[in-house]
Amino acid sequence: MHLTDEEQRILNGEHGEPQRLSLQVLVKLGEAYGAERMVEIRSAHLVGSSYQIAGEAGIAIYTQLVEQGARVKVRTTSDPGSIDFTRWRQFRTPAEYAERQILIAELLDRMGVIPTWTCTPYTIFNVPRFGEDLGWSESSAVVFANSVMGARTNRLAAYVDLCAALVGRVPRFGLHLPEHRRGEILFELDPALSASFEDHHFPVLGYLVGQVTGDRIPVIVGIREATFDQLKAFGAAAAASGSVALYHMVGITPEARTLDEAFGGRPPVERIFVGKREIARTLEQMSSGNGGTVDVVGVGCPHASVDQMRRYASLLDGKRVHAGVELWVCTNTVVEEMARKMGYVETIERAGAKLMVGTCHNDCPLGAWGFRRLVTDSGKFAYYTPTTVGSECVFASTEACIAAAITGQVERR
C-alpha cells in the first residue's frame, strides 16, 4: 500500500501514539481489502459512542486515547447512546449502566466529538456533499449518505470509525471507488404496485431488498417519487435485513438518473420482480408471533424528523395512549427542540406518549420492563426487536402503530 510522506511520519509516531495506532489499524484494514492508498475524509460518524456497542473494552480504549491526548482530525458526530441523557430514569435504565454511558460521553467530548447522539446526522450536523469521502459507521446513516447524498463511505466497524476520525483518512477500497458503486441486482416494481405505493411500503420493500441483496448493490426501478423520510426508512430496513450500504433508485437517487447509469453500462446479474404478493409475503415475515395486547409501540427509527413529529402529533391530537401501553418516539435533541417550539411535543406528551431522545429501543437495556409485544413502523426495529428487546414484534403502518397505542390492541396484518 502506498503511503504519503505525511502518513509515513504518522506511522513513525511523529504525531503521537493515538494517530500512529489508528493509522496502523487502517493500513492493516486496507491491506486486507487490497487498497492501494489512503484517502482523506471530510467527516466521521461513530457507532461506538453507544455503551451497548463499545462496552467496557471501548471505555478502556477511549480512556487510554484521551490520556495520550487524542483529538479527532475531522468533523465527527456520535450515534445514539444507550441512554436518554435527561430521562434515563423514566426508561428504567439501571444507574450503573447510565454512568458507563455518561463516562463514554465525557471521553468522546474530550476527543472533540460533536455530541449529536443521532443516527440521522446527515440532516443537520454532518451533512455530506456529493462525491465526498467519509469514514462513517451506523448502517442506516451509511446507506443514506451513499445512496441519497452520493457521498462515499464503507460501512466501518466500531473503533475503526474512531481510527478514521483520529487520522482523517480511510483506506481507499470498496465504495470509495466509482467502479464499485455500480448496481448489480435489479428489482422491478410491478406497475400496479407502483401506482398504489404507500408510505409503509418503503420499509417493507427495503426489508425485502436487503434479504435478497445481502451485500451487493441493488437498483430499484418503478418508484415514482419518494420523500426524504421514505428513503430513510427504506435504506434503514435494507441495511438491517441485508448488509446494503448503497442502493440506487432510478430517477430518484443521484447516481441513477437512468437505469443504464445505475448499472454503469453493464447488465444486471439478477432480476427480481416485486409485486403485491412479494410485498405481502415480506410483511408477513416482518412480524413475529400473533397480534393481541400491546406493551410498547416504537416509532422514530431512524430518528424522527420534524415532519414525522408533526404527523405523530396530528394522529395523537385529542387522543390518549391506552393505560398500560408505552408509546415511545425516538428522535434527537435538535428535532425535539424544533418540535417543542411548534407545539408538537406538547400534543404528543399530552396524549401520554414519551419522547426518547438521543437513543432508541434497540440501544437501551429494556429488561426491567418485561415487554412481550412491540409494535413498530420501522423495518429496522422489526428486524432487531426479537433479539434486542426480546419481545414479539408486529410491523404496522405509522397510523396503525398510533392506533395500537390508543386501543392497546394490534392485529397482525
Of the two residues 100 and 380, which places its CB atom closer to ligand F3S in the complex?
380
Candidates 45, 303, 311, 322; binder of ligand F3S (CB under 6 A) is: 303
**Residue 357: CB minimum distance to ligand F3S, A:** 11
Non-local (6+) Cβ contacts of 373 within 8 A are: 289, 292, 293, 294, 295, 296, 391, 392, 393, 394, 410
Q: Please name the amino acid found at residue 221.
A: V
Residue 244 cell numbers, joined = 446494503
Local structure of 113: helix, strand or coil: coil
- Nearer of residues 70 and 237 to ligand F3S, judged by Cβ: 237
Output the smallest distance, CB 36 to ligand F3S, in A: 33
Pick between residue 154 and residue 376 the one whose CB is nearest to ligand F3S.
376
Pairing of strands 169-171, 38-40: antiparallel
In the complex, minimum distance from the CB of residue 80 to ligand F3S, in angstroms, rounded to a whole number: 4
Contact 152, 176 (CB under 8 A): yes
Q: Which stretch binds ligand F3S (CB under 6 A): 21-29, 167-175, 297-305, 334-342?
A: 297-305
- CA pair distance 57, 120, nearest whole angstrom: 26
Q: How many residues bind ligand F3S (CB under 6 A)?
A: 12
14-20 own/partner pairs: CB under 8 Å, 24+ apart: 16/68, 16/69, 16/70, 17/68, 18/65, 18/68, 18/69, 18/70, 18/166, 19/70, 19/166, 19/167
Spatial contact of 354 and 329, defined as CB atoms under 8 Å apart: yes
302 in contact with ligand F3S (CB under 6 A): yes
Among 105, 148, 236, 325, which residue sits at the site for ligand F3S (rule: CB under 6 A)? 236
Site string for ligand F3S, 34-73 (x = CB under 6 A): ----------------------------------------
Q: Which CB atom, from 26 or from 145, has the smaller least distance to ligand F3S? A: 145
The whole-angstrom separation of Cα 240 and Cα 142 is 12
| Degrees to nearest 5, angle at CA 297 with 291 and 299 | 125
Rounded Cα gap, residues 402 and 298, in angstroms:
9
Cβ closest to ligand F3S, residue 22 vs residue 230: 230
Q: Quick one: 39 or 356, whose CB is closer to ligand F3S?
A: 356
Interaction with ligand F3S in 364-383: which residues (CB under 6 A)? 380
Ordered alpha helix ranges (H), 148-266: 160-167, 191-195, 201-213, 228-241, 259-262
Q: How far is the CB of 318 from ligand F3S (least distance, A)?
A: 27
Which of the residues 117 through 146 are near ligand F3S (CB under 6 A)?
119, 140
Of 25 and 360, which CB lies nearer to ligand F3S in the complex structure? 360
Task: Decide: 188 and 218 in contact? Cβ < 8 Å.
Answer: no
CB of 407 to ligand F3S, least distance (A): 25
Shortest Å distance, C-beta 62 to ligand F3S:
19
Q: Least distance to ligand F3S from the beta carbon of 172, Å? A: 27
Residues 14-33 touching ligand F3S, rule: CB under 6 A, are none
- Least distance in angstroms from the C-beta of 363 to ligand F3S: 6
Kindly state whether residue 80 participates in binding ligand F3S, applying the rule CB under 6 A: yes
Query: Cell numbers 451533512 label which residue?
Result: 127
* Closest to 299 measured CA to CA, from 282, 312, 284, 310: 312
Q: Restricting to residues 183-222, which ones interact with ligand F3S according to CB under 6 A?
A: none
Q: Is 330 in the site for ligand F3S (CB under 6 A)?
A: yes
Q: Which DSSP state fits 192?
A: H
Other beta carbons within 10 Å of 42? 18
Stretch that binds ligand F3S, among 14-22, 145-153, 306-314, 356-364 (CB under 6 A): 356-364
Instruction: Select the residue interacting with ligand F3S from 43, 147, 362, 385 (CB under 6 A).
Output: 362
Is 363 an interacting residue with respect to ligand F3S (CB under 6 A)? yes
Cβ neighbour number for residue 90 with a 10 Å cutoff: 12
Residues 101-120 that bind ligand F3S (CB under 6 A): 119
Asked if 230 touches ligand F3S (CB under 6 A), the answer is no
Say if strands 296-299 and 373-376 run parallel, antiparallel, or are unpaired.
parallel
Q: Which residues bind ligand F3S (CB under 6 A)?
A: 80, 119, 140, 236, 301-303, 330, 360, 362-363, 380
